[in-house]
Amino acid sequence: MNPRKPIIRLTLTLIVIVVANQFAAKAELGQEPAKGSQPSAASPLNSTPAHRRHSASPYRSTSLTTRAQNHFESSWGIDTLEVKSVESGQLIRFGYRILDAAKASQLNDKKATPHLVDERARVSLDVPTMENAGQLRQSSTPEAGRSYWMVFSNKGKVVKQGDRVNVVIGKFRVDGLYVH
């Protein structure tokens, strides 16, 4: 009996297993293997079971992390921060809900100039001032449980839905808000 025969049989068996795993993994991901392609044994699809594979999501998160939410609740007394494109994109609306009126009073301070910064578009938007109405923002005495807003002029529609923006009001700053 040839001493190499069991080694060759074992090697062929391992190759068949690797090829079968490659085809099964691609079928599981909804992909068809390329014709005539040879799967590599070091492929990441073969090294990790399908139920444990993690890949980066193609979708960007639209909400703040729990840690960030806790920071804004404890430091600034606000939650439910959101940024929306309104009036066909001509205005960007920043809204928030007040939990603690004393902590949140700095956001409604008329002396603090609000800015909305989009680093991708390289712009800083301001709150427009109307001749008879004044600034388009709420600056009344804050009350717990109420929602407040301000709008930023977006002439030329440089800030678009899907962008990440920063809002700065005096010492208050929030980064990476998703524009809905």
| Residue among 156, 115, 154 at smallest CA distance from 137 | 115
* Spatial distance between the Cα atoms of 99 and 116, rounded to a whole number of angstroms: 22
Indicate the pTM of the whole model: 0.64
Summarised one tens digit per residue, pLDDT across range 111-166 is: 889 999 999 999 999 999 887 777 778 777 889 999 999 999 999 999 999 999 99
Summarised one tens digit per residue, pLDDT across range 6-39 is: 777 766 676 767 666 665 555 555 554 455 555 4
CA distances (Å), origin 157, targets 51, 136, 161: 43, 18, 10
> What are the DSSP E strand ranges found in 87-122?
91-98, 114-118
CA distances (Å), origin 106, targets 62, 109, 112: 25, 5, 8
Domains of the chain: 5-50 (no CATH), 66-178 (2.60.40)
